[in-house]
Amino acid sequence: MTTQQRRPSSSRRSEASRQAILTAAFELVGEVGYAKLSIEGIAARAGVGKQTIYRWWPSKGAVLFDAFLALSAGPDEQQGLPDTGDLEADLKLVLRSTVVELNDPRYDEPMRALTTEILHDPALAASYTERLDAPMKELKKQRLRSAQQAGQLRTDLDLDLAVDLLWGPLLNRWLLRSGPLTEQYADTLVETTLAGLRPQRRDVEA
């Protein structure tokens, strides 16, 4: 075998190991919590050596972050929000599914672990904002922009703020466990927020 022939197979093996490590990190943090998550544990679960992980990631936080990036690169996350023309119905659908996800024990601990890292690490927070949050926010803003063009939202609306208003309260309720996180709450949130984002009478008459 020449070096050239070996490369694809070696790169396939690398990719398989990488995927196994990310899956192992995500599953393990859900089982043992972030404090007890270790590179050793991830390596054992993934069936790779510790050095394989350290070759690609400097810390368990970095592995976990990439595990989230891999999740958010899935086909569902790339395709944008539903756009049936009915903004309220579309947003309720999306926010209800966010509620279901936040209440899912498989995601709860990994997301709390990632949030803790972000809370205390400004560099990771910047990376999170740029690589995970911003692309998702852009998809949300696309949907709002389409509603704006259809005359369903105020033209002077700050779309970043609109996203904060629609998704922020869900995130807070989940993080601080400050109240029941239900699909009913998602519905009321969408209805109440949209009431403030729609064109006001003076816009319509202008």
Residues contributing to the site for a second copy (CB under 8 A)? 33-34, 112, 115-116, 118-120, 122, 125-126, 128-129, 133, 157-158, 160-162, 164-165, 168-169, 171-173, 175-179, 185, 188-189, 192-197, 200-201
The least CB distance from residue 116 to a second copy, in Å, is 5
The residue among 67 and 113 lying less far from a second copy, judged by its C-beta, is 113
The least CB distance from residue 195 to a second copy, in Å, is 4
The residue among 21 and 169 lying less far from a second copy, judged by its C-beta, is 169
Q: For residues 66 and 24, is the Cβ–Cβ distance under 8 A?
A: no
The least CB distance from residue 115 to a second copy, in Å, is 6
Q: Which amino acid is at 182?
A: T
The least CB distance from residue 104 to a second copy, in Å, is 16
**Rounded to 5 degrees, what angle do the CA atoms 61, 30, 113 make?**
35
Number of residues in the chain: 206
Tokens of 89: 């119905």
d(CA 19, CA 38): 17
d(CA 125, CA 118): 5
d(CA 149, CA 147): 5
The residue among 63 and 190 lying less far from a second copy, judged by its C-beta, is 190
The residue among 25 and 186 lying less far from a second copy, judged by its C-beta, is 186
